[in-house]
């Protein structure tokens, strides 16, 4: 029995909601009404079960302190114990002649860290099953404190190096043993380089049971200051079992159980619906029909205060769009489901990164590995890649199993629905975890509930869709259609026997392509009369840059992202890659040679040599590896969302260099992963800034504007005579309204919290008031860095909502498959969606100057002294927005 065992909830109020049942019965009949309310009730019971399972797993793993149940305990008790510890140390130093044997070691760690380590460690130990003797708890505490003192000095003495390199590598290692082993190696390396000013003598090697006595003192201080635990003598008279054991006090046990009970009651696992969702008419209460313990808000915001801002806002077009979108009727594609279930059992699946049931085998250990350190090191390096991939496999496997489970559950219904709401920037999100915005398997398993005859035009769109799913999407429409006809025999063979003909698994979107194959077989047999319910989507071509190019009339950027008509598909990722290759080729002949630089240790004065790769050798490595659109894609995609050269570095290393190293062929091209990643990142940044210069200018302009708003204006400088000058303009949030009337408040606040970063026990946040999440102080740095991605996300959210309304009201589209910059419907209506998505893009940027509107909205909020600091608006180019109507590939 777990130590923290919350009571079971009674969610009968959801199941027996009279108003919801009567309303649904009138609309859909008694049977569906009862089933829908059962599903909503089940969301809470499933959520409670999931919460408890997670809680129990964390207790057994010794990670209970990381559960939300325990967080307030830390925030409340750490300050109390820190004060008690400080007082004890001061008393020891100033008043006591015979000091505690561990005093000098206690003084190596800050009081708040000592308290946080003690409380987190005790919570983790106590929550596990089984007795906890005072000896075992004390030793555990002593060792935890020693690890913080020992490895914390790496963080403290070499802070810049630690936070730049070591912490990230440490966080990637799972398991306490691996983390310790890694830091021991770091410590040895730093000592060898004279970068640490001290060696370490293990406390266990000292006399007087140092670790145990220090742990006992920590336990005593914990009991005295917090009454979190108590020590009881048990089994008196039984020589084998007699001893003192540590327990949670009844008061704290009750508090923790009560908190766990409350959290378990408000963590529903939302599911699809079997009746149309309740329309949104106010900020709370749409989507699901029963009130529930946690009514859903239309907008996902951090607090009730933030939600209240929208109380008096009129945005009928926004409500209309969300209600239309969530009224789309779906069903499970049972053919794809059957294949997916079978593939889940295969030992080897050709689909890239598919999570098989069995783990990858470790590499064979070479002979003599135990005696040869080089062989051992090489084997461990190869094995670490296997362990890393397996962690990802387990996570994906659980996700895929959940998808299959949900699909099976809802396959029996003729129609299912997904309620939607918005994030604070206005992006549309499905609420259930299983939804059409999921991965390729999920999308392949879902289709419209109502099919319509494809018609001759729909057949053409179906061909284009099939080629897109196969990855043949960087050519014009005629070539995509031709590809389907040329491969028709293969497509029909897959439809007849998908398990016997697994060629579909090698396609770009395997499960969506499989669904297309089944659909195409129907078209081949029945022609234009075939009734198709397959969602066909039109995806934006790097939509963030599309929006920036449109708002600035940037012809070069617009052409690169297909806003202008063209005979060929423009591929911005390839265009940037070509720019990069030009620079790399130049570096091959004109670049710098390898060199070395002398690094001086500021503490010891020792001079150490470090190899610096020249641009010539890095250029050779990258040309040998190969530079194509895959190398540049993620960086270019994230440009419009605020990523810059330093962000590109991490992306290139994670996406390109590390996988190459894991495969065993990376080191020949990338002798220093970080230097090679930084080199490529800078080239991508320089290249993309040339291809889409206007987008970069717009982002810089937005950041400067946000910085002004986040700046406080005082009546004079702070001086001794005037220490608190009057505030003429406080730090202010950034506010704007999208073209369809959705108001956005960007307001990043500094938390009323102090962080305690521990080496092995994560982060503890201390806050003045338990229920306060944010302060009243705006975080200027976040306001500046967040404005570009948030602004462009709000624009693509507005475009999506406007497209939904336009397609519905003007073209009779009733089914929508939506994912931010992807606009889908069934083949019979695909041509109409194709028109609607372009027409709304043109309307948005001909009827609105979104940057000028933004400027006017915040100019009114600036102080007069700031007006001359306002940067000039980026100049507009010559792009004719109306030409988007004639561009086949802007959304394709």
Catalytic annotation, residues: 539, 633, 821
Inter-residue contact 421 to 300 (CB < 8 Å): yes
DSSP 296: P
Q: Give the other-Cβ count within 10 Å of 428's Cβ.
A: 22
User: By the 8 A CB rule, do 66 and 58 touch?
Assistant: yes
What is the SS3 assignment for 201? Answer: coil
**What angle do helix axes 780-811 and 316-326 make, rounded to 10 degrees?**
70
Contact 3, 130 (CB under 8 A): no
Instruction: Report the SS3 class of residue 131.
Output: coil
The beta strand positions in 220-343, using DSSP E, are 229-234, 243-248, 299-300, 330-332
In terms of Cα–Cα distance, which of 47, 46, 39, 51 is closest to 15? Answer: 39
In Å, the largest CA–CA distance within the chain is 98
3-state secondary structure of 13: helix
**Can you tell me the distance from the alpha carbon of 248 to that of 3, in angstroms, rounded to the nearest whole number?**
9
Tell me the C-alpha to C-alpha distance, in Å, between residue 91 and each of 98, 149, 424, 640, 841: 11, 22, 52, 58, 72
Closest Cα to residue 449, out of 331, 335, 336?
A: 331
Instruction: Report DSSP state, residue 891.
Output: B
How many Cα neighbours within 13 Å face the side chain of 71? 16
| Residue 807, helix vs strand vs coil | helix
Q: CB of 423 within 8 A of CB of 299?
A: yes
**Which secondary-structure segment (H or E) carries 694?**
helix 693-709
Residue count (the chain): 892
Q: 817 forms bridges with which residues in the sheet?
A: 824
Helix (H, G, I), strand (E, B), or coil: what is residue 246? strand
Cα-based distances in Å from 753 to 444, 473, 767? 45, 49, 4
- Phi then psi dihedrals of residue 531, to 5 deg: -90, 115
d(CA 72, CA 766): 9
Nearest to 156 by CA among 110, 125, 115: 110
The answer to whether the CB of 601 falls within 8 A of the CB of 193 is yes
Strands 727-729 and 243-248: unpaired
Q: What DSSP letter does each residue of 492-513 carry, written as one string?
A: HHHHH-TTT-GGGGGSSSHHHH
CA 768 – CA 754 distance, rounded (Å): 9
Residue with tokens 């690169």: 560
Q: Tell me the C-alpha distance between 587 and 627, whole Å.
A: 14
Name the token pair of 213.
């006595």
Please work out, in degrees rounded to the nearest 5, the angle formed at the alpha carbon of residue 405 by the alpha carbons of 403 and 409. Answer: 115
* Adjacency order of strands within the sheet including 817-818: 536-539, 822-825, 817-818
């Amino acid at each position: 029995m777990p130590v923290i065992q919350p009571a079971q909830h009674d969610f009968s109020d959801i199941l027996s909601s009279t108003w919801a049942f009567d309303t649904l019965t009138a609309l859909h009949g008694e049977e569906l009404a009862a089933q829908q309310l059962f599903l909503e009730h089940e969301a809470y019971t499933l959520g409670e079960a999931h919460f408890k399972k997670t809680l129990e797993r964390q207790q057994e793993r010794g990670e209970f302190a990381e559960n939300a149940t325990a967080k307030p305990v830390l925030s409340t008790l750490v300050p109390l114990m820190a004060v008690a510890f400080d007082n004890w140390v001061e008393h020891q130093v100033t008043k006591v002649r015979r000091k505690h044997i561990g005093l000098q070691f206690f003084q190596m760690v800050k009081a708040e860290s000592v308290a946080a380590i003690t409380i987190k460690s005790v919570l983790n130990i106590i929550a596990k099953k089984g007795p906890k003797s005072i000896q075992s708890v004390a030793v555990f505490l002593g060792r935890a404190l020693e690890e913080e003192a020992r490895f914390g000095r790496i963080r403290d003495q070499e802070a810049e190096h630690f936070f730049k390199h070591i912490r990230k590598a440490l966080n990637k290692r799972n398991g306490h043993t691996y983390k310790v082993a890694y830091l021991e190696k770091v410590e040895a390396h730093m000592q060898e380089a004279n970068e640490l000013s001290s060696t370490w003598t293990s406390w266990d090697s000292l006399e007087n049971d140092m670790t145990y006595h220090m742990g006992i003192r920590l336990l005593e201080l914990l009991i005295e200051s917090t009454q979190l635990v108590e020590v009881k003598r048990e089994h008196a008279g039984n020589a084998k079992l007699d001893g003192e054991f540590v327990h949670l006090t009844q008061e704290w046990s009750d508090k923790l159980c009560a908190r766990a009970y409350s959290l378990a009651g408000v963590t529903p696992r939302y599911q699809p619906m079997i009746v149309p969702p309740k329309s949104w008419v106010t900020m709370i209460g749409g989507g699901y029909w029963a009130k529930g313990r946690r009514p859903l808000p239309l907008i996902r915001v951090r607090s009730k205060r933030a939600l209240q801002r929208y109380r008096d806002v009129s945005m009928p077009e926004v409500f209309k769009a969300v209600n239309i979108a969530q009224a789309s009727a779906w069903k499970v594609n049972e053919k794809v489901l059957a294949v997916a279930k079978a593939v889940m059992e295969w030992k080897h699946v050709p689909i890239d990164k598919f999570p098989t049931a069995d783990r990858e085998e470790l590499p064979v250990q070479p002979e003599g590995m135990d005696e040869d350190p080089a062989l051992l090191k090489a084997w461990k390096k190869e094995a670490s890649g296997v362990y890393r991939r397996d962690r990802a496999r387990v996570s994906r496997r659980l996700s895929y199993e959940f998808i299959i489970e949900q699909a099976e559950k809802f396959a029996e219904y003729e129609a299912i629905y997904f309620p939607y709401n918005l994030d604070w920037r206005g992006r549309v999100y499905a609420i259930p975890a299983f939804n059409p915005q999921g991965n390729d398997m999920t999308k392949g398993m879902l289709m419209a509930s109502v099919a319509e005859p494809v018609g001759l035009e729909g057949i053409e769109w179906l061909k284009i869709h099939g080629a897109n799913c196969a990855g043949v999407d960087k050519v014009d429409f005629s070539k995509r259609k031709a590809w389907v006809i040329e491969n028709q025999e293969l497509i029909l063979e897959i439809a007849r026997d998908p398990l016997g003909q697994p060629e579909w698994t090698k396609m770009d979107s395997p499960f969506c392509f499989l669904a297309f194959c089944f659909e195409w077989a129907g078209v081949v047999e029945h022609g234009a009369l075939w009734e198709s319910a397959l969602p066909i989507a039109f995806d934006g071509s790097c939509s963030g840059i599309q929006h920036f190019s449109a708002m600035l009339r940037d012809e070069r950027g617009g052409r690169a992202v297909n806003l202008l008509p063209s005979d060929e598909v423009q591929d911005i990722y390839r265009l940037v890659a070509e720019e990069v290759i030009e620079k790399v080729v130049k570096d091959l002949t004109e670049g710098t040679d390898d060199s070395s630089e002398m690094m001086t240790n500021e503490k010891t004065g020792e001079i150490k040599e470090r190899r610096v790769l020249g641009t010539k050798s890095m250029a050779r490595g990258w040309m040998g590896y190969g530079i194509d659109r895959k190398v540049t894609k993620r960086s270019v995609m994230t440009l419009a969302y605020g990523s810059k050269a330093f962000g590109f570095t991490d992306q290139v290393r994670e996406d390109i260099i590390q996988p190459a190293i894991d495969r065993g062929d990376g080191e020949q091209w990338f002798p220093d992963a970080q230097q090679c990643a930084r080199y490529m990142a800078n080239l991508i940044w320089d290249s993309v800034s040339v291809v889409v210069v206007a987008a970069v200018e717009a982002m810089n302009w937005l950041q400067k504007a946000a910085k002004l708003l986040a700046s406080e204006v005082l009546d004079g400088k702070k001086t001794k005579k005037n220490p608190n000058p009057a505030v003429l303009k406080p730090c202010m949030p950034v506010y704007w309204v999208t073209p369809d009337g959705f108001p956005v408040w960007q307001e990043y606040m500094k938390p009323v919290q102090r962080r305690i970063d521990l080496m092995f026990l994560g982060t503890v946040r201390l806050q003045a008031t338990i229920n306060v999440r944010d302060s009243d102080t705006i975080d200027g740095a976040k306001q500046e860095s967040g404005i570009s991605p948030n602004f462009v996300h709000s624009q693509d959210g507005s475009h999506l909502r406007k497209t939904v309304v336009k397609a519905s009201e003007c073209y009779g589209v009733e089914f929508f498959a939506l994912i931010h910059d992807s606009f889908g419907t069934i083949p019979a209506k695909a041509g109409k969606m194709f028109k609607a998505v372009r027409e709304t893009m043109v309307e948005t940027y001909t009827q609105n100057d979104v940057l000028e509107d933004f400027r006017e909205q915040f100019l009114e909020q600036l102080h007069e002294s700031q007006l001359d600091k306002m940067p000039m608006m980026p100049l507009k180019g010559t792009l004719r927005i109306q030409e988007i109507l004639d561009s086949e590939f802007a959304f394709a």
